[in-house]
């Protein structure tokens, strides 16, 4: 997939320079934080909530659901990942927003136009926008340990260990990654949650192979594991991952590396289930995809009870449908048989997932 093509050349010329510019600018400001705001390292990270599940299991839906309650939840939004991972940058954007409000909010129109240009297609599958919450896996781009590099450099063997972070990365490197992640959370809380009264929400399917490292680093953290039958989640995830590959290269087939992706997802199912059961235990809850998408109010109450939060601030999720049916909606179209070998999947996941999800 890295074969020279027009799409590959254009992607390389657009992505690499912009990423390097962001990397050096953001790294510079992250270093300045250590000089001007050294006390941020004392910021509490006791109230953390991680939403961990394989792609296409309603993790995005859940994080948007909880972010509606701004009184009790906080977390990075896409603009923070891209342009303001440091404390100094966050303050600069806060002051810029105050100026923007004084001038009549012209940035609102600009932001909407950027969202339309950048996320017109992907937004139909994975809800995205500069002002929206997204995946904390973006943060690991800045220390070059993110599995997202795999989309731009597919089939690079050196990146494979990050796909199975907890079991393939040396202990010292895992510790370094988690220390970096903790400082990113502390920076956010220092600016937006100084009193640590809100739960910091962190969501990323890419955290499935990191769940052990995260649970060990943050012993007070809570976990939500949404699960979906693999016969729906796996082909949907393969399709989404293939579309991500297609942004950076000419596709040799419709769903490249489908078998490898399926086996990776099966391993993520097994790894997450094992840690939720044997290590995280009462710090986590499992939610069924069918409940999340079909009975939102029940799921909200279940989460609030688990976190010992008042349901008085529970805010219904905005309905996407004019007919006001289920608020869950996706325009993702794909071959639902992709990656599906029923007997192979059953043999791997029997005893791992609830029996009803395998039949």
Mean pLDDT check: name the lowest of 1-15, 21-35, 43-57, 308-322: 308-322
pLDDT at 316 over 70: no
pLDDT at 82 over 50: yes
Mean pLDDT check: name the lowest of 112-126, 185-199, 261-275: 112-126
Asked if 57 and 265 touch (Cβ cutoff 8 Å), the reply is no
Over the stretch 42-56, which tens digit does the pLDDT of each residue have? 999 999 999 999 999
Asked if 82 and 141 touch (Cβ cutoff 8 Å), the reply is no
Over the stretch 30-40, which tens digit does the pLDDT of each residue have? 999 999 999 99
Over the stretch 334-359, which tens digit does the pLDDT of each residue have? 888 999 999 999 999 999 999 999 98
pTM for this structure? 0.92
What is the dotted CATH code of the domain comprising 9-319+329-353? Answer: 3.40.50.300
3-state SS, residue 226: strand
Cross-strand partners of 199: 73
Mean pLDDT check: name the lowest of 95-104, 220-229, 256-265, 279-288: 95-104
Question: Average pLDDT in the 233-238 region?
Answer: 96
pLDDT at 179 over 90: yes
| Average pLDDT over the chain, rounded to an integer | 91
């Amino acid at each position: 997939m890295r074969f020279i093509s027009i799409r590959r050349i254009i992607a390389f010329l657009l992505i690499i320079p912009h990423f390097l510019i962001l990397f050096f600018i953001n790294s510079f400001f992250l270093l300045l934080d250590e000089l001007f705001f050294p006390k941020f390292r004392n910021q509490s990270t006791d109230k953390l909530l991680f939403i961990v599940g394989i792609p296409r299991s309603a993790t995005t839906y859940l994080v948007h659901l909880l972010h509606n309650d701004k009184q009790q939840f906080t977390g990075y939004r896409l603009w923070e990942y891209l342009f303001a991972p440091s404390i100094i940058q966050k303050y600069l954007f806060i002051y810029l927003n105050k100026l923007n409000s004084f001038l009549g909010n012209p940035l609102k129109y600009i932001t909407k136009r950027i969202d339309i240009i950048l996320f017109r297609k992907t937004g139909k599958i994975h809800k995205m926008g500069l002002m929206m919450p997204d995946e904390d896996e973006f943060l690991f781009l800045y220390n070059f340990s993110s599995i997202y590099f795999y989309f731009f450099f597919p089939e690079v063997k050196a990146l494979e260990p990050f796909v199975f972070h907890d079991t393939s990365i040396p202990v010292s490197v895992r510790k370094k990654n988690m220390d970096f992640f903790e400082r990113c959370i502390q920076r956010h809380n220092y600016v937006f949650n100084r009193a640590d009264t809100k739960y910091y929400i962190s969501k990323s399917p890419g955290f499935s192979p990191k769940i052990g490292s995260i649970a060990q680093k943050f012993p007070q953290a809570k976990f939500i594991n949404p699960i979906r039958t693999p016969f729906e989640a796996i082909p949907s995830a393969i399709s989404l991952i293939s579309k991500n590959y297609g942004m950076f290269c000419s596709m040799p087939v419709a769903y490249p590396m489908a078998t490898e992706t399926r086996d990776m997802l099966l391993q993520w199912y097994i790894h997450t289930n094992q840690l939720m059961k044997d290590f995280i235990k009462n710090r986590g809850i499992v939610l069924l995809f069918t409940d999340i998408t079909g009975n939102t109010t029940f799921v909200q109450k279940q989460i609030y009870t688990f976190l010992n939060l008042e349901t008085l601030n529970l805010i219904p999720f905005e309905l996407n449908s004019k007919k006001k049916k289920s608020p869950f909606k996706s325009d993702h179209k794909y071959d639902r048989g992709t990656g599906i070998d029923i007997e192979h999947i059953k043999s791997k996941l029997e005893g791992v997932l609830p029996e009803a999800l395998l039949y």
